[in-house]
Structure 1
Amino acid sequence: MEYASNASDGTQIAYTVVGSGPPLLMVHGSFLTHTIWRTFGYVKALRGSRQLILIDSRGHGRSDKPHTPDAYAMTNIVGDLTAVLDAVGVSAVDYLGYSFGARAGLALTAATPDRVRSLAVGGGSHGAQAGAFDRLFFPGCADVLEQSGMEGFLEAWSSHRMFPIDSGTRAVFSANDAQAMAAYIRASDADSGLPDEVLQHFTQPSLFYVGSEDRIRLGDTRTAAALVPDSELHIIRGFDHATTMAASEEVLAHLERFWDN
């Protein structure tokens, strides 16, 4: 992987570029890395027709992992994305993001609209996020990360679930830096998001998608799609927040039609 430096705080963001064609910036969700796009077949499907710019968001994967919440302010996340685009040498991209990657894409579009040609986002929210991770995992999850590390977090999460954590998920989550993830969660809790009127002024072609069983983001996605002029909304039937990434065949079909228009 290569690295781009955020000029505002020096954080190093890991990225890799594969394929050829119009550039597409792909941004993963929380606790994951750029490899999730490979795992579910997006890279294989798109690399023949797209220049794919795959990043590890700050705090994740091979990127730097600050331990203070202010490091994860959305202004810094936007700075990370523009630093990567500058390092790759592209002025504007199509954008694809899921969950936190969707939120980052909305923020990037709001802050630097000239750098986003089209926007495709899944399972995201532009609103305030206080308590979102407590609802996703369990109450007090940031405290557990700080005090008991990633293993303690996984044990507590498992005790709040109907089914045990599968070995694949456990392996991916175990690779995270617990203190960085705690700071990341606290920054999310403090993030007020974007006002509705900002989305109402988006001019980029935009596509929103979300799983029909995604109790966390279904309403948020519907709301955002209704605000962005002339946007598309696709409901991926039978999938929830954690599994919609795996619905790659259906998601890719929607994306290809969207990009072809």
Structure 2
Amino acid sequence: MATTVNPEDGTEIAYRAAGPDDGVAGAPTVVLLHGTALSKAVWQGYGFVPALRAHHRVIAVDLRGHGRSGKPERPEDYAMDLVAGDVAAVLAAEAAGPAHVLGYSYGARIGLHLAARRPELLSALTAVAGTWRGTRGRIGQLFFPGFLDSLRAGIADGRGMGAFVEDWEATIGHRLDPATRAAMLANDARAMLAYTTRTEEQPGLTPHELAAITVPTLFVVGERDTPQLEDSRAAVRILREHGTRTGLELVPGRGHGDVLAARDLILAAAGRFHGAPGSGPDGGPDTMAVI
């Protein structure tokens, strides 16, 4: 694991760089940005890092407030411009860029912000289950209503993230799976409260800002992820109207929380959209090696 510091506010950002295993100099860089309450470990767990590092330089980032990165405790510390600066700091530390950003949910929102505000950092964007619009109310839809009160209660009585987990399990009527439960409990309650409070207030891109994006952008979304699907379709319409190369890949049978399990489909779609097919060991197309 490596770390760097965002020069704008001094927040330390942890990340891990790997590959390319084929030793090709100048291999393209892929930056992986996770979703809310997750960490860079999700990309290893779902197999994205092993699949990509064969032919790419892969950089998986712990977003501020998550994983091993710094955990500021004020909502204003999670303003999108600061978070975008974290990614810029990692790219500068690794002398990597422009890069292909592959972001999931929160990571996709960051990717769209970068494409709109700092396009020189990106060669391509794959936005998985993301939105360009404001996100008020959406965390409550993904987890449970009253999640902010649960975080506040956990901070007040010393249960930390335990209060959040207990209330979530009470809402869904069963215990979370062990991996999800462990991931949630590993978070810092004060940082999550600050981050989610800001997320509830965070403005998205305006249609004008979205229309100005020129970075080739692929949207990938589960067919059951209704809000993100509607937003992705709207984004594709706007970007196409303004001449930006864009596309939408629907993931059958998936919703918001389980779309990353469709790793092969996501990487194959990104390969088809963003690059020319490579050659697999059998001489056939290796669609996971071309983004």
**Same fold, TM-score > 0.5, yes or no:** yes
Task: Return the offset for 1:259.
Answer: 2.7
* CA distance in 1: counterparts of 2:72 and 2:200, whole angstroms: 17
- Which deviations, in whole Å up to 9, do the C-alpha atoms of 1:18-73 show, x marking residues without a partner? 01221111101011111111111111111011100110000000000011100001
Q: Which residue of the partner structure matches residue 14 of structure 1?
A: 14
Q: Which residue of the partner structure matches residue 127 of structure 1?
A: 133
Higher gyration radius (CA): 2
| Contact 1:212–1:218, Cα closer than 8 Å, also in 2 | yes
Larger mean CA deviation between 159-168 and 180-189 belongs to: 159-168
- Which deviations, in whole Å up to 9, do the C-alpha atoms of 1:182-216 show, x marking residues without a partner? 11100001111110121212112110000011134
* CA distance in 2: counterparts of 1:154 and 1:54, whole angstroms: 26
Give the fraction of aligned pairs with identical amino acids, expressed as a percent.
Answer: 39
- Identify which of 26, 37, 45 aligns with 2:32: 26
Structure 1 residue matching 2:226: 3-state secondary structure: coil
Task: Give me the TM-score of the superposition, normalised by structure 2.
Answer: 0.87
Task: Return the offset for 1:163.
Answer: 4.6
Task: Return the offset for 1:111.
Answer: 1.2
* Alignment map for 1:100-249 (pairs within 5 Å): 100-148=106-154, 149-161=160-172, 163-229=174-240, 230-249=245-264
* CA distance in 2: counterparts of 1:180 and 1:225, whole angstroms: 33
Task: Give me the TM-score of the superposition, normalised by structure 1.
Answer: 0.96
Structure 1 pair 173–216 and aligned structure 2 pair: CA distance change class (3 A): farther
Q: Which amino acid letter does the alignment assign opposite residue 246 of structure 2?
A: S
| Contact 2:32–2:59, Cα closer than 8 Å, also in 1 | yes
Task: Return the offset for 1:96.
Answer: 0.5
| Contact 1:216–1:241, Cα closer than 8 Å, also in 2 | no
* Alignment map for 1:75-90 (pairs within 5 Å): 75-90=81-96
Structure 1 pair 199–171 and aligned structure 2 pair: CA distance change class (3 A): same
Task: Return the offset for 1:147.
Answer: 1.5
Q: Which amino acid letter does the alignment assign opposite residue 19 of structure 1?
A: G
Structure 2, gaps ≥5 residues long:
21-26, 155-159, 277-291
Larger mean CA deviation between 59-68 and 200-209 belongs to: 200-209
Aligned-residue Cα RMSD (Å) equals 1.2
Runs of 4+ in 1 over 4 A off after TM superposition: none
- Number of residue pairs the alignment of both structures matches: 261
* CA distance in 1: counterparts of 2:94 and 2:152, whole angstroms: 35
| Contact 2:124–2:217, Cα closer than 8 Å, also in 1 | yes
Q: Which amino acid letter does the alignment assign opposite residue 32 of structure 2?
A: M
* CA distance in 2: counterparts of 1:144 and 1:150, whole angstroms: 8
Task: Return the offset for 1:225.
Answer: 2.3
Structure 1 pair 50–248 and aligned structure 2 pair: CA distance change class (3 A): same
- Which deviations, in whole Å up to 9, do the C-alpha atoms of 1:149-187 show, x marking residues without a partner? 211111111122155311110011110001100111000
Structure 2 residue matching 1:49: 3-state secondary structure: coil
